Structure 1
Amino acid sequence: MEETIDIREYFEMVRKRIWMIIGISAFFMAVSAAVSFLVLEPVYQTSTTLMVNKAKDDIDKIIDYQDVMLSQKLVNTYGEIAKSKVVMSKVAGKLNLKMSTGQLMGKVSVTPVKDTEIMRITVSDNDPALAVSIADITADVFMEEVSRIMNVENIQIIDRAEVPAGPVKPNKNMNVAIAGVLGVMLGLFITFMIEYLDNTIKTPEDVEKNLGIQVIGMIPVFEQIEK
C-alpha cells in the first residue's frame, strides 16, 4: 500500500508541472532542430573497394591457404600505405586541393573487410562529388605506390566510388529526438528537485504526513466583502 501511495505522489508531481516539462522538452527540440538544419553542414560519404593479393612468381602457381592468410594480414599494411603522406600529398596535387595532408587524412579512412583480401577506402566530405574524386584518386595513387614500395602488382579495383544519394551526417531527426528525450529528463529532474526542496505544508495530507498528527478541522477562507 505504501508503495502505491508513493507512485501516486510521483505522478501528482509530474501532473502539476507537466507544462514545464513539455516546455523544456520543446525548447531543447527547437534548439536541436535549428542547429541540425541551419548550422551543421551535411557530410556525404562514399567508398571504393580494392582486392590486393600476394604477388605471384608464377602465374600458374596454385594459391594455397597460407597465401590467402598472408594477403588478409597484409591488408592492414596496405591500409597504412593508402593513408600515408606520400599518397595523400599526390592525391591533393592531382585534385588541386587547398588543404594539408593532415586535413585530407581526416577525410579518408581505410578498413579491411573481415576475413577477406578486400580493403575499403571511405571518404567523407561536405561536397559529394569531391568525396567521389578523392576516393577514386586515392585508390589509383595507392595502386601505384604499393607496387613501388612492396612490389605488389596483383591489385584490382572492385567498386568505384559513387555519388551518395544523401548525407550521412547530421542525422537531423535523431538529433531532435535525442534533444526531446534529454528535455523530458531535465524537466523531470527539475520537478523532483523542486518538490524535494519544498518543505511547506499546503494540504491536510501534508500535515498528517509530515507532522504525524490528525487533522480535526479546517478554517475556511472567506472572500472579504467590500463595504
Structure 2
Amino acid sequence: MTLRDYLRILRASWLVVTLVTLATVAAAAAYTYTATPQYQSTAQLFVSTQQSDTSEAYTGSLYSAQRVTSYADLVGSRELASTVIDDLGLDAEPGALVRSVEAAVVPDTVNLEITVTDADPNEAQRIAQGYAEAMVNLVRELETPTGQTTAPIKVTIVDPADFNDAPVAPQPTRNLVLAFVLGLLLGVGVAVLRDLLDTTVKSTDDIADATDAPLLGAIGYDPSVKSSPLITSLEPHAPRVEAFRVMRTNLQFVDVDKSSKVIVGTSALPAEGKTTTTVNLALALAQGGERVLLMECDLRRPRAARSLDLDSSIGVTTVLVGKASFDDAVQHVAGLDVLASGAVPPNPAELIQSGAMKDLIAEARQRYDVVLIDAPPLLPVTDAALLAAQADGAIVIVRHGKTSRDQLAGAVHRLQQVDAAPLGVVFNMTPKTTGGYGYGYGYGYGYGYSPDGSTPSSARGKAEAKAARQAEKAAARSGGRGKRAKD
C-alpha cells in the first residue's frame, strides 16, 4: 500500500480511528484513577570479603562480584519471605510477599538493592528494612563454613530503607500518553484491516479493475432521495440534477454511429439505485430535447411507473399478450413517454425471450431517439442479460460501499456471456467530502466531489462543468436542427 492509500483510508475511516483512540484513552483513564496508589522503599547492601593484602583484596572483589548475583536471586525465595513475615509479624502469604519485592545488582559494583512496593509507604519501608536485615543474616548463615564462627564474605546495610510518600504507580500522564499512542495505532490498524477485508467498490480504480467499460457518471449520496427521488422535483441547478445532465452528455458519445439507441439500465444486485437512476436519466434526456421512451421491463418487482405516479396495470405485458396496442399503453409525464410493466406475469423470462418482445423493442427503436429499459438486477435473474442482448447494451449501476468488486465483475461477465455490451458504469451514492458542493461525474466533469472522494480545485471544476453545459447546448441545437430537417 502507498502513502496515498493510507491517507485515503484515514480520510474514509477517521471516525473509527477516533472512536478506538478515545475508547483506549478512556479505559486507561478509568484504570489510572481507580487503581490503588503504590509506594516504594529501597534498601542498599554492600557485599565484601575479608582480605589481608592487595592481591587477596583483588581476588576477594572478584569473588564478591560473583556472589552478589546469587544473593539477588535469594531475595525472591519463599524461604526468605517466610523469615521476614515471622520477624515483622506480617499477615501475608510468602508468595504474595515475593511478588512485591525486587532485587537488582548495581552494574559493575557489588551493591545489592532491595525494593519493596506496597499500598502503604510506611509498610513498604518496614518490609524493605526487614528484607535487608534478613538478607544479612541469611548470607552469614550460608557462607559460614562448618565448625567456624566467621564467614569469609559478609553483607552490610549501607543505606537503610528510605521513606517515600510519592506514589510510583499509577502515573496518569505517562498512562494517558501511552494510551493515546496505542489507541491511535490500534485505530489505524483497525481501519486498514477493515479496508483490506472490504471488497466493495469505493473508487474509480475498483471499477477499472472489474471492467473496461467507461465511467459514465457518479451520483453523490443525497439523503433527500427517499423523499424526492426525481430530479424534476429539485431546483434546476441542484447538484444531483447537474450530475444527470453530465451523464446525459457522456451518453451521447456511446455508440455515436447509431441514430437510435436502446439501452438497458441494470445493476448487480437489488437496492443499488437502479430504478431511480434509470428514471432520472430518462427525464434528463427528455429535458435535453430527445424523444425518450422509458420501458419498465422489471417484470418481477416493478418500481419505475410507481415512482412517476403512473398506472402500472397497463404496459409491457399488456402489449406482449395483445390486449392493448403500443400507442394505447404508452403514458406521458414531464415530456417523457413511459411504458409501464403491466400486470406481473408468472413467467417473466419467457416473455422477455419471446418474439413479441423483440418486435416491441424494434418498434420502440423506430419511434424514439433513446429507449431506456429498466431491468432487474443481473446476478439474481437472467432477465437483464436477455434484454441487453436484444438492446445495444447495458448501463450497470454500482452503489458505493455496497457492490463488491466480484459482484461487479460477475455482472459484467453475465452480460458478456450473451454477447451484450456493457456500455458504461454509473457510480451511485458516492460520499461527499468536506468543503465541496457538487458531485464527481466521471470523464473529468466534476467539481467539489469526485467518485473516489478526492476534491479537485474549484476553478478546474467550474471550468469543466461549464464545458459540459456548453457541450449539452450544442448537442441540443444539433438535435433540433436534425428534427427540423426531417420535418
- The answer for the alignment partner of 2:248 in structure 1 is none
Q: TM-score, normalised by structure 2?
A: 0.40
Deviation of the 1:73 alpha carbon: 1.2
Q: 1:133: how far off?
A: 0.7
Q: Distance in 2 between matches of 1:204 and 1:114?
A: 62
Offset of residue 54 of structure 1: 1.4
Q: Cα–Cα, structure 1 residues 209 and 95, in superposed 2: closer, same or farther, change >3 Å?
A: same
Q: Does residue 191 of structure 2 align to residue 191 of structure 1?
A: yes
Aligned twin of 1:162: 162
Aligned-partner Cα distance in 2 for 1:33–1:122: 27
Q: Percent identity?
A: 24
Q: CA deviation at 1:29?
A: 0.7
Moved more, 71-80 or 17-26: 71-80
Deviation at 1:83, TM superposition (A): 4.5
| 1:52 matches 2:47 | yes
Question: Which of 86, 98, 119 is the aligned partner of 1:105?
Answer: 98
Q: Distance in 2 between matches of 1:10 and 1:109?
A: 44
Of 16, 19, 31, the match for 1:20: 16
CA distance in 2, matches of 1:80, 1:205: 62
Contact kept? 1:88, 1:101, Cα under 8 Å: yes
| Equivalent position to 1:141, from 134, 137, 140 | 134
The answer (yes or no) to whether the contact 2:201–2:207 under 8 Å persists in 1 is no
Q: Matches of 1:146 and 1:195 in 2, distance apart?
A: 62
Partner AA of 2:40 in structure 1: Q
Is 1:34 the counterpart of 2:30 in the alignment? Answer: yes
Q: Is the aligned partner of 1:92 residue 2:85?
A: yes
Give the RMSD, CA atoms, in angstroms. 3.2
- Superposition deviation, residue 17 in structure 1: 2.5
| Equivalent residues of 2:139, 2:155 under 8 A apart | no
Deviations 1:160-202, CA, capped at 9 Å, x for gaps: 121224233333333323332333233333333444424236x
Kindly tell me: are residues 195 and 137 of structure 1, through their superposed partners in 2, closer, same or farther at Cα, counting changes over 3 Å? closer
TM-score by length of 1: 0.78
Gaps of 5+ in 1: none
Q: Distance in 1 between matches of 2:28 and 2:175?
A: 6
Which of 1 and 2 has greater Rg? 2
In the TM superposition, what is the alpha-carbon distance from 1:132 to its structure 2 partner? 0.8
Distance 1:163 1:223, change over 3 A: farther
Query: Aligned partner of 1:32: which letter?
Result: A
Q: Distance in 2 between matches of 1:73 and 1:137?
A: 24
Code of the aligned partner of 2:65: Q
- Quick one: which amino acid aligns to residue 121 of structure 2? P
Whether the aligned pair in 1 keeps the contact of 2:37 and 2:170 (CA below 8 Å) is: yes
- Aligned-residue offset at 1:108: 1.9
Tell whether 2:165 aligns with 1:172: no
Q: Distance in 2 between matches of 1:218 and 1:74?
A: 78
Could you tell me whether the CA contact under 8 Å between 2:46 and 2:112 is conserved in 1?
yes
Q: Tell which has more relative contact order, 1 or 2 (C-alpha 8 A, sep 6+).
A: 1
Paired residue secondary structure (2:37) = coil
The Cα shift of 1:98 comes to: 0.6
Distance 2:13 2:218 in 1: 27
Q: How has the CA–CA distance of structure 1 residues 28 and 219 changed in structure 2, closer, same or farther, with 3 Å as cutoff?
A: closer
Structure 2 residue aligned with 1:76 = 69
In structure 2, what residue type is equivalent to 1:138? Y
1:190-218: CA deviation from partner (whole Å, max 9, x where unpaired)? 333444424236x6665445423333567
Deviation at 1:136, TM superposition (A): 0.9
Distance of aligned partners of 1:159 and 1:210 in 2 relative to their CA distance in 1, 3 Å threshold? same
Equivalent residues of 2:41, 2:164 under 8 A apart: yes
In 1, Cα distance between equivalents of 2:219 and 2:171: 59
Give the gaps of 5 or more residues in structure 2: 145-150, 221-228, 234-307, 310-487
Shift in Å, 1:22: 1.0
Please tell me whether the aligned partners of residues 207 and 214 of structure 1 are also in contact (alpha carbons under 8 angstroms).
Answer: no
Matches within 5 A, 1:203-214: 207-208=207-208, 210-214=210-214
